[in-house]
Chain A
């Protein structure tokens, strides 16, 4: 466990990252929070339907990790993936429109909240079967090695994926073949409503790295710089051809499993303790107190985000529904290269 080391790395990042970079980290986290709060509102208003799993509280993980990647690196995610998709660079408009089921959505209204995909930014999909994305990340890693490309794959999954066979098979194969995959477990303590210690014999999840002979670290998933530091290290290793890593980011979702879940299995006290560790509030505080960044600069970012999300909602609301003529189209790729 490299917690102390990562704390130090995070301290260093706060000093070594430029002000613009720190503000960008803040902006991405705030964007996701604002987006998710708005998505919740739109869900209660019936604009968004189906399942909707929100990421509020966990923003530091997606933002810290993805900030450690290049644009051409791949990201694979789960059904709680709005944050990863936004952090990778998909416009809020396209994500919100997808949640609204509109033709302008990033998956053309066919995917919904759980199945975002944006080839342009190499966001390789939200997958709604727990653990289902991990083998795909292994395959993407294999394609990189095969073509001798410099990219890496960053694969997000929850603590709920660890008891799945796909997790163990994927770590084994990625390590066996030394593939450039960074496995990031977002441990928010609950697989739906089941506590991690009621689901997994080894609740220190990063320890699963050891039998698969890869580095494993546990980081504070409420600290964007700590996540960033750990991912930068794992990415460097992967790019050097030294294989995969497992990062356990300890975090907390501020809302229930989905919009349909009031999270009655958690105590209000527990929720309050974690809300006091809000990754955005804490980061903002540090920027102001430790880097002397002006509150006004942060307020300006927040105002721009509010406008951006309002615009995204308006765009989604006004966008057309997908044409019914299209329902049976695109099941198969008809022409070579048509995808």
Chain B
């Protein structure tokens, strides 16, 4: 067990999977010589070579489409989109091809491909570089949607993603790359669909994923000082979704807050809230609160950006109003 960053954990997972299976390869913009725009693939080109670290031109639609075709041809591609914002150009290939090929063709083909992409705001990158799109992918049947928050989860879930036979959308948060944590050495796999109860509590359940996990833990600490005992659940994967763990917690606390960085309207947290209502309505003592980004294109100004993003204080307020 070593203390390494989220970025290093991803890099380690990639190395281990490249070593394990000759059919695994990485392609994307700047993944090779540049080492990845966020340096996740740094140092991989030298040991693995251009065949397995394939730099591509800026052609998101065709990079992803070629990944799908390569997967249909028996390879296990890991396609890096430099950021998820550019992934919209590949949306046709993801939604119309990757997600449908197995079902639409009667099970004759599969698409064992991982699409890795950083997302999220907080770096004053403006409206076109600060978005969170997990809801778009969650909406589409046929895709796995993975949203790790911790370095250990980043490693364990990425390794599982590479071995999964379905197309996996693996969304990393840009401001988590430098976060450090304990990460098991060597073989370490986390199954999909297993939420992690990071903090137990009896008064309110805070359901989160990706960066909002940290905002939720901060909020839980603040609430503790006020005598409110919050439980924090990290979903880790949105598709499949571990509703059972969430419902079990809500039945205990009677209150739920869903925290996510996507836009509030139509966000992944809205879906989670709806599923909690369906499964545990009678156990709720208050309406579920959603803490999310404001429904605005992300502004550049530091103060405006902070105001648009969800903060731990927003979660605290939501909890105070409920308890």
Query: Which of B51, B97, B163 has most chain A Cβ within 10 Å?
Result: B97
B44-63, CB under 8 A of A: which get 1 and which 0? 00000001000011010110
Q: State whether A139 touches B92 (Cβ < 8 A).
A: no
- In angstroms, how far is the closest chain B Cβ from the Cβ of A172? 7
- Give chain A residues whose Cβ lies under 8 Å from the Cβ of B68: 135-136, 139
A115-137, CB under 8 A of B: which get 1 and which 0? 10111000011010100101111
What's the dominant secondary structure at chain A's contact region? mixed
A187-201, CB under 8 A of B: which get 1 and which 0? 000000000000000
Docked complex: B198-218 residues within 8 A CB-CB of A: none
Does A142 belong to the interface (CB within 8 Å)? yes
- In angstroms, how far is the closest chain A Cβ from the Cβ of B165? 4
- Give chain A residues whose Cβ lies under 8 Å from the Cβ of B66: 135-136, 138-139, 142, 173
Q: Interface range on chain A: under 10, 10 to 19, 20 to 34, or 35 or more?
A: 35 or more
Does A23 belong to the interface (CB within 8 Å)? no
Does B67 belong to the interface (CB within 8 Å)? yes
Say which one of B101-109, B169-177, B182-190, B271-279 lies at the interface with A: B101-109
Does B65 belong to the interface (CB within 8 Å)? yes
Which residue of B has the minimal Cβ distance to A147? Answer: B74
- Give chain A residues whose Cβ lies under 8 Å from the Cβ of B163: 336
Q: State whether B103 touches A331 (Cβ < 8 A).
A: yes
Which residue of B has the minimal Cβ distance to A108? Answer: B106
What's the count of A-B pairs with C-beta under 8 Å? Answer: 147
Docked complex: A99-127 residues within 8 A CB-CB of B: 105-111, 115, 117-119, 124-125, 127
Does B166 belong to the interface (CB within 8 Å)? yes
Given A125-B109, A331-B141, decide whether A139 and B65 contact each other with a Cβ distance below 8 A.
yes
Q: State whether A166 touches B105 (Cβ < 8 A).
A: no
A339 and B166 alpha carbons, distance in the complex (Å): 10
Q: State whether A119 touches B109 (Cβ < 8 A).
A: yes
Q: State whether B106 touches A129 (Cβ < 8 A).
A: no
Which residue of B has the minimal Cβ distance to A116? Answer: B105
Does A9 belong to the interface (CB within 8 Å)? no
- In angstroms, how far is the closest chain A Cβ from the Cβ of B144? 8
Q: State whether B105 touches A135 (Cβ < 8 A).
A: no
A6 and B97 alpha carbons, distance in the complex (Å): 36
- In angstroms, how far is the closest chain A Cβ from the Cβ of B224? 40
Does A297 belong to the interface (CB within 8 Å)? no
Given A173-B56, A332-B102, decide whether A139 and B69 contact each other with a Cβ distance below 8 A.
yes
A127 and B68 alpha carbons, distance in the complex (Å): 13
Given A339-B102, A339-B165, decide whether A173 and B62 contact each other with a Cβ distance below 8 A.
yes
B104 partner, pick from A107, A137, A169, A173, beta carbons under 8 A = A107
Does A262 belong to the interface (CB within 8 Å)? no
Does A333 belong to the interface (CB within 8 Å)? yes
Docked complex: B68-109 residues within 8 A CB-CB of A: 68-75, 77, 92-93, 96-97, 101-109
A26 and B238 alpha carbons, distance in the complex (Å): 54
- In angstroms, how far is the closest chain A Cβ from the Cβ of B319? 36
Does B255 belong to the interface (CB within 8 Å)? no
- Give chain A residues whose Cβ lies under 8 Å from the Cβ of B72: 124, 136, 139-140, 143
- In angstroms, how far is the closest chain B Cβ from the Cβ of A312? 18
- Give chain A residues whose Cβ lies under 8 Å from the Cβ of B101: 125
Q: State whether B70 touches A139 (Cβ < 8 A).
A: yes
Which residue of B has the minimal Cβ distance to A151? Answer: B73
Q: What are 5 A-B contacts defined by CB distance under 8 Å?
A: A111-B105, A127-B96, A129-B92, A129-B97, A331-B142
For the complex of A and B, the 7 pairs showing the least CB-CB separation, nearest first, are: A139-B69, A135-B65, A143-B73, A108-B106, A339-B110, A117-B105, A169-B62
Q: Which residues of A come within 8 Å of B, CB atoms? A: 74, 76, 105-111, 115, 117-119, 124-125, 127, 129, 132, 134-144, 146-147, 165-166, 169-170, 172-173, 176, 330-333, 336-339
